[in-house]
């Protein structure tokens, strides 16, 4: 079940887009539209999420022999005596000479994990994110993108940090990750082409880095996370300038999407954080589903939110 925080939001965006738009109505069809939607349709701020896959679904992250493979590179950014390790996914057919470049998703892991988990094949906590992307691209659900999966274990914080400061991994992104990626990969460098998402502890990273820096990011997605009761007043206080800014919704090219399963330990935190966003009129969508605080849920949330990325550059307006 989806809880919709958009309410009476009026949406009037007019950017043309192709295959990645098709899943916004939940059909998830191939280009050309088995779901009856034309290939070229007007883009807008999504008012609902695509359909959530059922608990235990596996086909969307299987290694299909007929699907072209993207590449995952492991790099260390920094000097001889250490640095920041990061996994970077480039899509099938990635080209350094493509004049359009590629949009970028920054994808964070949870507590006790590192940059390897999102692409791991490990049964319990492996994300297989590269396979999810390969398959979604092949199906025409999304356009190719670069995905940056950093190790945020050393800077992630369960406390909100004031926008404009460098805590909560903001410094890592601004000083290290973004300069390296934008100097070494053929990616677009405008805010419309940057999204951030994270699971559990990585959801705090997405809030602090993404919502706290809407001059750099236009999409924020939270999987199985939300502010604890001890941090909610601090969130309102530290993010007051963002929550009360009438331009915040215009800077968000998709609603903030927060998803948690009914059995997720973070379910109540997700609901309470959604309530705060609703109170301030910040556009959001809550995805509720059968699932727990596990990679089965987070893989499905990644699959669900990918088609909402990079299809709108007009902002979401005001409710």
Token reading at 199: 């699971």
Handedness of CA 122, 127, 129, 134 (dihedral sign): positive
- pLDDT on residue 82: 67
Task: Note the pLDDT of residue 113.
Answer: 95
Which DSSP category does 235 fall into? H
Quick one: pLDDT at residue 43? 55
Provide CATH code, domain 2-308. 3.40.50.1820
Cβ atoms of 84 and 151 closer than 8 Å:
yes
Residue pLDDT, tens place only, 84-106: 999 999 999 999 999 999 999 99
- Are 255 and 180 a contacting pair, CB within 8 Å? no
Q: What is the tens place of the pLDDT at every residue in 120-159?
A: 999 889 999 999 999 999 999 999 999 999 999 999 999 9
The predicted structure's pLDDT at residue 164: 84
Residue 157 CA to residue 118 CA, distance in Å, equals 19
Contacts of 169 (CB under 8 A, 6+ apart): 108, 152, 155, 156, 157, 205, 208, 209
pLDDT at position 28 is: 32
Residues in the chain predicted with pLDDT less than 70, given as ranges, are 1-43, 79-82, 318-319
Owner of token pair 């920054």:
106
Domain boundaries, the chain: 2-308
Count other C-beta atoms under 10 Å from residue 39's C-beta: 14
Residue whose C-alpha is closest to residue 109's, from 75, 84, 139, 86: 86
What's the CA gap between 225 and 202, in Å, rounded? 8
Quote the pLDDT of residue 78: 81
- Any idea which residue has 């001889």 for tokens? 80
Strands 104-108 and 194-199: parallel
- What percent of the chain stands above pLDDT 70? 85
């Amino acid at each position: 079940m989806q809880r919709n925080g958009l309410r009476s939001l009026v949406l009037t965006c007019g950017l043309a887009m192709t295959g990645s738009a098709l899943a916004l109505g939940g059909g998830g069809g191939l280009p050309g539209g088995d779901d009856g939607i034309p290939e070229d349709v007007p883009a807008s701020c999504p008012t609902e999420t695509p359909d959530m896959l059922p608990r235990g679904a596996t086909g969307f992250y299987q290694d299909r022999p007929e699907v072209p493979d993207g590449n995952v590179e492991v790099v260390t950014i920094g000097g001889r005596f250490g640095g920041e390790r990061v996994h970077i996914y480039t899509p099938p057919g990635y080209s350094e000479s493509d004049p359009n470049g590629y949009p970028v998703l920054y994808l964070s892991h949870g507590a006790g994990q590192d940059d390897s988990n999102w692409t791991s094949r490990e049964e319990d906590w492996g994300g297989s994110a590269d396979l999810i992307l390969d398959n979604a691209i092949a199906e025409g659900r999304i356009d190719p993108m670069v995905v940056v999966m950093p190790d945020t274990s050393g800077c992630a914080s369960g406390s909100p940090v004031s926008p404009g400061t460098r805590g909560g991994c903001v410094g890592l992104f601004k000083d290290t990750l973004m300069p390296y990626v934008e100097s070494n990969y053929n990616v677009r460098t405008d805010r419309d082409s940057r999204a951030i998402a994270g699971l559990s502890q990585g959801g705090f990273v997405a809030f602090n880095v993404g919502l706290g820096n809407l001059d750099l990011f236009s999409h924020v997605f939270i999987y199985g996370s939300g502010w604890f009761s001890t941090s909610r007043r601090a969130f309102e206080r530290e993010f007051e300038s963002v929550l009360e800014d009438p331009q915040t919704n215009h800077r968000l090219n998709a609603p903030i999407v927060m998803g948690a399963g009914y059995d997720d330990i973070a379910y109540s935190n997700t609901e309470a954080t959604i309530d705060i966003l609703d109170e301030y009129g910040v556009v959001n969508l809550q995805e509720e589903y059968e699932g727990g605080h596990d990679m089965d849920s987070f893989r499905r949330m990644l699959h669900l939110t990918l088609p909402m990325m990079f299809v709108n550059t007009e902002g979401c307006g005001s409710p």
